[in-house]
Structure 1
Amino acid sequence: MSRMKKSDILSKLCIVLPLFLRKLLNFVTMRRLLTRFINRVLLTEPFTAAMGIEAEIHTQGRRRMVVGLGNPGMEGTRHSVGMAVLGALAARLGVADCWRGDKHVSGEVIMWEVQQTHVVLLRPRLLMNINGLSVAKAASKYGVRPEDILLVHDELDKPLGKIALKHGGSARGHNGVRSCVDSLQTDVMPRLRVGIGRPTEKMSVDCHVLGRFSSEEKKVLDSVLVQSVDLLISQFSQQDFQQSPSSPAGDRQAAQKRKEEECLASPAEKSEVTSAAQS
């Protein structure tokens, strides 16, 4: 009897489990499609690199934009670490008090010039899943090309203390980046990925990313913010956002254009990456 019961249970599992997985997959797919649909509906006009009178004014010379992804009203959480980096950048540039709301782009902006480069700093005031709308509108209004938009966001697959520059490509499961890709209709935007680490076994991913940094984590975060700002400022002097300070140059760099280049916390780790790239 016991063997028969076990056999019945296994046969039922074989039937129920595929159905469950199929429904789960359908839910995830529908969620992505719904988010994409909302992006397209709310973005009233197709994205273009320059729209309107203000764009014509601002396109005198190349313009860059740095976007801190996050959730408005949830500053200080792991998921909004991109906003923290942007705040640190504004402070370094001495323009932390210059944020102004722009209802036309659903965000807060700062216009500044760094090393003869015109820079737009943007903090979207939309939820993470649809903040691409703000990015696309700001890019159109201020005349910024997608390849000149650098997205700063949290990264689960990197521990806290490590950052990486990624040259375009897929969203890798990040809803904020996916919204930007859908709204701009391209994935060429470079990203500064700021590690936040994965949660412990007892904590869900949602609780982890929406939670705040612990006192110990904040000590590490302070160093991360400094490194992130250093990297961003170094990028402003580049012809484009295609090469990080530790990236291999020449043919190697061109062949790996769409691969991410690691910017690790410790000097020892940096030397290891450089050696590996040259081998």
Structure 2
Amino acid sequence: MNISGPKVVKNMTKWLSSRDALALDLPSGALPVAASTGYPATLVILHDELEAPLGKVRVKRGGAESASLRGHRGLISVLETLRGKGLFHGMVKQGSGEGKWQAQGKKRGKDDGLARELDVLRVGVGIGRPVGREKDAVADYVLTKMEGRELDAVNRAAGSVVDVLEEEIYRVG
């Protein structure tokens, strides 16, 4: 999961290309305008949210420039890969630590030839947090299989996640 970016981006660009090819074959008006033109595209990333209470859904649009990734290695991997391919521009961090953010210049995708601006929607489902904040305790907590109360809380969050996805599908602009 920590190095999921390359695989996610590969599958996303494959899907975008097939979606655009399908749109060319359909009569005008058969798909919503955004889908039929291939623009804009939104990548929805569903992830665990260590800093949110168990089962709480948090929604954030954009990358780290809009809201901290809080060290989530999977999110970092996906967003860094998107930027490296020229698919997500947003902002880039200047320097180390809590440095300043600066707009990144747009460029064409390196591998796929797609020149599209991608919107990223992060949907985090709270998994709570272990008592200790040590790196090993957090890693063990995140990687332990959920059962009972925890699993029930995350399952109940599914309805809220579906609501977010429906809202995103019908979002204009």
Whole-angstrom distance in 1 between the partners of 2:4 and 2:39: 17
TM-score by length of structure 1 reads 0.37
Q: Does the CA contact (< 8 Å) of 2:49 and 2:127 recur in 1?
A: yes
**Aligned equivalents of 2:71 and 2:52: distance in 1?**
14
Aligned: 1:137 with 2:10: yes
Aligned to 1:268: none
Distance 1:138 1:183 in 2: 12
For residues 197-244 of structure 1, the C-alpha deviation after alignment (integer angstroms, 9 at most, x for no partner) is 11123980011000122312222222111221222122211125xxxx
Partners of 1:131 and 1:181 lie apart in 2 by: 10
Return closer, same or farther for 1:145/1:152 CA change in 2, 3 Å cut-off. Answer: farther
Shift of residue 140, structure 1, vs aligned partner: 2.0
What are the Cα deviations for residues 27-79 of structure 1, in whole angstroms up to 9, with x where unaligned? xxxxxxxxxxxxxxxxxxxxxxxxxxxxxxxxxxxxxxxxxxxxxxxxxxxxx
Higher relative contact order (CA 8 A, sep 6+): 2
Q: Which runs of 5+ in 2 are unaligned?
A: 17-37, 91-118
Distance 1:146 1:184, change over 3 A: farther
Which residue is 2:102 aligned to?
Answer: none
| Native 8 Å contact 1:154 1:196 kept in 2 | yes
1:223 aligns with 2:156: yes
Residue in 1 that maps onto 2:145: 212
How far apart, CA to CA, are the structure 1 residues paired with 2:132 and 2:9? 37
Shift of 1:146: 8.2
- Residue 177 of structure 1: aligned partner: 75
Corresponding residue number in structure 2 for 1:149: 43
Structure 1 213/147 Cα, relative in aligned 2: closer, same or farther at 3 Å?
Answer: same
Partner of 2:172: 239
Shift of 1:167: 1.0
Structure 1, unaligned stretches of length 5 or more? 1-127, 241-279
Q: Kindly indicate whether residue 33 of structure 2 is the aligned counterpart of residue 160 of structure 1.
A: no
Q: How does 1:1-279 map to 2 (within 5 A)?
A: 128-143=1-16, 148-170=42-64, 171-185=69-83, 186=88, 188-201=119-132, 204-239=137-172
Specify the code of the residue in structure 1 equivalent to 2:78. Answer: C
SS at match of 2:2: helix
Rounded to whole Å, the distance in 2 between the matches of 1:145 and 1:195 is 31
The alpha-carbon deviation at position 132 of structure 1 amounts to 0.9
Indicate the structure (1 or 2) with the bigger Cα radius of gyration: 1
Q: 4+ residue stretches of structure 1 with deviation over 4 A? A: 144-147
The one-character-per-residue Cα deviations of 1:74-111 (angstroms, maximum 9, x if unpaired) are xxxxxxxxxxxxxxxxxxxxxxxxxxxxxxxxxxxxxx
Structure whose residues are more often helix by fraction: 1
The 2-side partners of 1:235 and 1:189 are apart by 11
Amino acid at match of 1:196: I
What CA distance in whole angstroms lies between the structure 2 residues aligned with 1:209 and 1:184? 25
Q: 1:86 maps to which residue?
A: none
